[in-house]
Amino acid sequence: MSAIEIMQQIESLPDKEQQELFVMFTKKVVGGKSPDAKPWLGKNLSFEEACDVVFRENRELLSALAK
């Protein structure tokens, strides 16, 4: 399954489940944040913008979801 297919499946979920996934992804990113990652928490981002940040800053997560 490709990352695009995974994102399409995530987008098809109810809003509450999308938010739960985002929270899980955010916790993973914050827990494994690299020292050179740009700070973005606390900014007013749309769900799509936040997903872009999560996947851009956490390549391992994207790889795991793509499997």
pLDDT digits (tens, 9 = 90+) for 11-31: 999 999 988 888 888 777 766
pLDDT digits (tens, 9 = 90+) for 29-53: 766 555 555 666 667 777 888 777 7
Among 22, 29, 26, CA closest to 7:
22
* CA 38 – CA 55 distance, rounded (Å): 13
Question: Which residue bears the tokens 């987008």?
Answer: 11
**pTM: predicted TM-score of the whole model, two decimal places:** 0.43
